[in-house]
């Protein structure tokens, strides 16, 4: 029998380091968390060969005092906790005191650090937990760590590293997540002398998302900001139509710490239920701010997993935040028309080709000269040659209108004012009768304001613009999506919601309707399917039960048994007849008729799992699948003959209903096109 012996310090240090450091990204994670805890506002990360041979992390934080630098590399040495009570409310990213000791055990570390108030800094070198140098040095405020040759003394670990590209990608992903969790810090990531990521550090999460994921991804997001039982959930989620093929774009941060949480992931996907395409997953960047005492971050050496004292409360906070954001900001899809001109004016207006050798210059609708078009094909032999044609945009008024002077408006930006004034002009002109357009301007300040663009002169142009601005100044800018106007003006200007009017049908599939200055296109099958699905689902809250002659006993795990036993009443409302038996068995005496011949064991197990996952709606996904099938079979089909009254009734039932925006499979039921966008395509407005 082998004798028990105490391991040497060298071996024990290597074993302990293996729990924290397993790849270059682990080194960078620990160093970055220390830099963030040091209140750095600018952090630079540089790697070479995937971080295997060279890592540099530079910050402008507090720095380390000369007398503390050697102690910082001792195991269990930390400045972030002192007593056991401090573990209850940890607000820093690091606290174990193992990071620097673990890093120095498997690599060569070179440190330059200087607190802001000190005249000189410190240069410190440590290799394999052995101090090599500690001297006074000149350096900027903050700390710079240079880590070389990771696992140089542990070849067994070194050979398990992946290719440099893969290791570098892991580092890039880590830096990206920390940049998202701390938008107030400017991050810079350099790989093999090439800058790959730079964030603004302006404190705006959207800016960080734009820098990390790109403009296209950022444009597909809608904001989230909700508080539930003292837990705030803020950030952004993707619109259902832009779902991702996997869960890699789901980013959750708890009190500034990136975490992997099944509770948060389940709540997010439950919020998208019946709104996202099958096989697609929602993406998000969500910050969860909760009291530190309900979060246990001391459950994993790398601190990437956390535990909540009340999973259900966190689940509901995320779920309701996602549902609220989707109902409020997930608007119908706007049809976009290409504004580029891919044809010459002769092709657009079907003019005959010019003779060979001649060139045609044309002016676009934006009045910007374009490059000459290539010579046209030779004209037909007997066709008379026509003179050159130059096409210019139509003029709105005979007299040139002088551009109004810029008017100061502290309530918003000039671009916003310009856009809003154009919309007010267009709307007012559309609502003004022909007889009123030529009438003099009324003196009454409360009278409606009418404009005739063709009759505007140089003298009264500025006056009209100023009156519009006076109206705009009644608004108070709140956010990018909402405005608040004085209550008395809101009461006077309130209008009934515009009801859509069905104009006709396209291809026996799409309903064409008009609502105000918008053209609406409805997919009649998808619209009717979702309408029926919601109607059936509302009536299926309490389902009829098919009783068994003999009870079926289902054995669960103990946590499943506890969850099901605590929710027997909710289970019975779903049409089940279930009684807890000797743990961990339950007796199933009946199931909903709608389930048919489905195996009760599988159904009860899935139901118990839903309660464990704290789902707000414990109803099984199999119910949704059955209801989808019923609604799909009963709905109007494409190419069916439909009466105009039937189509109008369908539009009336789905338009404006926040729950009916997508079919049960995630396809949109409606798209819209604004009148102004359509008029631009026909060159009626510019």
List beta partners, residue 187.
43
Contact criterion met (CB below 8 Å) for 118 and 166: no
Which of 429, 457, 492 terminates a domain? The answer is 492
Same domain assignment for residues 566 and 517? yes
Which of 492, 507, 525 terminates a domain? The answer is 492
- Report the 10 Å Cβ neighbour count for 557: 13
Lowest-confidence pick of 276-285, 600-609, 620-629? 620-629
Give the pLDDT confidence score for residue 184 in this predicted structure. 95
Short-list 106, 135, 103, 114, CA closest to 65: 114
What is the separation of C-alpha 249 from the centre of its chain, rounded to a whole number of angstroms?
9
> Does position 42 have pLDDT exceeding 70, yes or no?
yes
What is the separation of C-alpha 204 from the centre of its chain, rounded to a whole number of angstroms?
14
Contact criterion met (CB below 8 Å) for 362 and 344: yes
Same domain assignment for residues 194 and 244? no
Short-list 418, 456, 422, CA closest to 437: 456
Same domain assignment for residues 486 and 526? no
Give the pLDDT confidence score for residue 560 in this predicted structure. 85
Residue ranges with strand state E in 2-86: 42-48, 54-59
Contact criterion met (CB below 8 Å) for 282 and 325: no
Q: Is residue 409 part of a domain?
A: no
Q: What is the pLDDT of residues 463-505, one digit of tens each?
A: 555 554 454 444 333 333 333 433 444 444 445 678 899 999 9
Q: Report the domain count for the chain.
A: 4
The better pLDDT of the pair 434, 659 is held by: 659
* Domain span including residue 431: 414-492
Which of 310, 330, 350 terminates a domain? The answer is 330
* Distance from the first to the final alpha carbon of the chain: 92
Same domain assignment for residues 104 and 142? yes
Give the pLDDT confidence score for residue 542 in this predicted structure. 57
Q: What is the pLDDT of residues 221-273, one digit of tens each?
A: 999 999 988 899 999 999 998 888 889 899 999 998 898 888 899 899 989 98
Could you tell me the pTM of the whole model? 0.64
Same domain assignment for residues 464 and 515? no
Phi-psi region at 144: left, alpha or beta (left = phi > 0; alpha = psi -120 to 50): beta
Q: Is residue 507 part of a domain?
A: yes
Instruction: Decide: residue 473, CB within 10 A, 0-12 exposed, 13-18 middle, 19+ buried.
Output: middle
Same domain assignment for residues 158 and 284? no
Q: Is residue 686 part of a domain?
A: yes
Same domain assignment for residues 156 and 305? no
Same domain assignment for residues 473 and 583? no
Across the range 581-596, mean pLDDT stands at 83
Lowest-confidence pick of 27-36, 344-353, 643-652, 671-680? 344-353
Q: Is residue 509 part of a domain?
A: yes
Q: Is residue 426 part of a domain?
A: yes
CATH of the domain at 601: 3.30.1540.20
- Report the 10 Å Cβ neighbour count for 441: 13
CATH of the domain at 269: 3.30.230.10
Across the range 197-210, mean pLDDT stands at 94
CATH of the domain at 177: 3.30.565.10
Angle, helices 621-634/524-539, rounded to nearest 10 degrees: 130
Which pair of structure tokens corresponds to residue 318? 């995320």
DSSP 160-229: T---HHHHHHHHHHHHHHHHHH-TTSEEEEEETTEEEEE---SS-HHHHHHHHH-HHHHHTEEEEEEEET
* Separation in Å, CA 195 to CA 106, 187, 199: 27, 11, 11
Give the pLDDT confidence score for residue 79 in this predicted structure. 74
* Separation in Å, CA 623 to CA 410, 553, 554, 619, 650: 54, 22, 20, 7, 25
Contact criterion met (CB below 8 Å) for 335 and 316: no
Short-list 597, 602, 573, 577, CA closest to 587: 577
Cα 368 to Cα 347: distance, rounded to the nearest angstrom: 18
3-state secondary structure of 113: strand
Same domain assignment for residues 166 and 245? no
Give the pLDDT confidence score for residue 237 in this predicted structure. 95
Q: Is residue 446 part of a domain?
A: yes
Q: Is residue 2 part of a domain?
A: no
3-state secondary structure of 519: strand
Same domain assignment for residues 17 and 116? yes
Same domain assignment for residues 249 and 307? yes
Q: Is residue 168 part of a domain?
A: yes
Give the pLDDT confidence score for residue 399 in this predicted structure. 41
Same domain assignment for residues 528 and 598? yes
504 half-sphere exposure, CB direction, 13 A CA radius? 2
What are the residues whose beta carbons fall under 8 Å from the beta carbon of 367, sequence distance 6 or more? 392, 393
């Amino acid at each position: 029998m082998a004798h028990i012996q105490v391991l040497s310090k060298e071996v024990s240090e290597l074993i302990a380091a293996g729990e924290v450091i397993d790849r270059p990204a682990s080194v960078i994670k620990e160093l970055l968390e220390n830099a963030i805890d040091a209140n750095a506002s600018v952090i630079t990360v540089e790697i070479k060969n995937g971080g295997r041979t060279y890592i540099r992390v530079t910050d402008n934080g507090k720095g380390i005092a000369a007398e503390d630098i050697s102690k910082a590399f001792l195991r269990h040495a930390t400045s972030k906790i002192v007593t056991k009570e401090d573990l209850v409310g940890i607000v820093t990213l690091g606290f174990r005191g193992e990071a620097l000791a673990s890093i120095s055990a498997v690599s060569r570390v070179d440190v330059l650090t200087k607190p802001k108030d000190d005249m000189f800094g410190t240069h410190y070198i440590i290799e394999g937990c052995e101090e090599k140098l500690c001297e006074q040095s000149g350096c900027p405020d903050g700390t710079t760590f240079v880590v070389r040759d990771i696992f140089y003394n542990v070849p067994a670990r070194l050979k398990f590293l992946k290719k440099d590209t893969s290791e570098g990608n892991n580092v890039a992903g880590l830096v990206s997540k920390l940049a998202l969790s701390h938008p107030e810090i400017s991050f810079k990531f350099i790989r093999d002398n090439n800058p790959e990521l730079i964030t603004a550090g302006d404190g705006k999460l959207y800016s960080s998302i734009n820098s990390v994921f790109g403009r296209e991804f950022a444009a597909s997001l809608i904001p989230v900001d909700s508080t539930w039982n003292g837990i705030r959930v803020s950030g952004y989620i993707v619109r259902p139509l832009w779902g991702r093929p996997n869960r890699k774009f789901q980013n959750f941060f708890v009190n500034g710490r990136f975490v992997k949480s099944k509770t948060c992931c389940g709540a997010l996907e439950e919020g998208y239920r019946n709104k996202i395409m099958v096989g697609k997953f929602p993406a998000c960047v969500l910050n969860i701010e909760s009291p530190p005492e309900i979060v246990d971050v001391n459950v994993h050496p790398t601190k990437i997993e956390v535990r909540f004292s009340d999973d259900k409360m966190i689940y509901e906070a995320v779920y309701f935040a996602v549902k609220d954001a989707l109902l409020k900001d997930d608007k119908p899809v706007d049809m976009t028309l290409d504004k580029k001109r891919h044809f010459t004016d002769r092709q657009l207006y079907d003019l005959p080709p010019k003779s060979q050798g001649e060139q045609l210059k044309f002016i676009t609708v934006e009045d910007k000269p374009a490059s000459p078009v290539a010579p046209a094909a030779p004209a037909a032999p007997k066709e008379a040659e026509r003179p050159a044609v130059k096409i210019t945009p139509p003029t709105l008024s005979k007299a040139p209108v002088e551009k109004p002077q810029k008017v100061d408006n502290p309530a918003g930006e000039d671009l916003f004012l310009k856009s809003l004034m154009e919309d007010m002009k267009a709307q007012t002109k559309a609502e003004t009768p022909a007889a009123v357009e030529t009438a003099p301007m009324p003196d009454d300040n409360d009278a409606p304001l009418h404009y005739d663009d063709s009759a505007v002169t140089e003298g009264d142009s500025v006056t009209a613009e100023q009156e519009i601005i006076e109206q705009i100044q009644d608004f108070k800018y709140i956010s990018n999506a909402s405005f608040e106007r004085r209550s008395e003006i809101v009461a006077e200007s309130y209008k009934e919601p515009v009801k859509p009017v069905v104009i006709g049908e396209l291809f026996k599939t799409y309903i064409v309707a008009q609502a105000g200055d918008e053209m609406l296109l409805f997919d009649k099958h998808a619209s009717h399917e979702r309408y029926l699905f919601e109607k059936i689902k509302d009536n299926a809250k309490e389902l009829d039960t098919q009783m068994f002659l003999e009870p079926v006993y289902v054995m669960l795990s103990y946590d499943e048994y506890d969850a099901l036993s605590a929710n027997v009443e909710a289970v019975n409302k779903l049409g089940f007849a279930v009684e807890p038996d000797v743990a961990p068995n339950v007796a199933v005496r009946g199931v909903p008729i709608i389930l048919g011949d489905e195996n009760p064991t599988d159904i009860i197990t899935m139901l118990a799992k839903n309660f464990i996952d704290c789902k707000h709606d414990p109803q099984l996904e199999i119910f949704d699948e059955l209801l989808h099938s019923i609604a799909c079979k009963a709905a109007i089909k494409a190419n069916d003959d439909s009466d105009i009254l039937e189509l109008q009734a369908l539009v009336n039932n789905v338009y404006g209903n926040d729950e009916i925006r997508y079919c049960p499979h995630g396809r949109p039921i409606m798209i819209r096109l604004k009148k102004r966008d359509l008029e631009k395509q026909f060159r009626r407005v510019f």
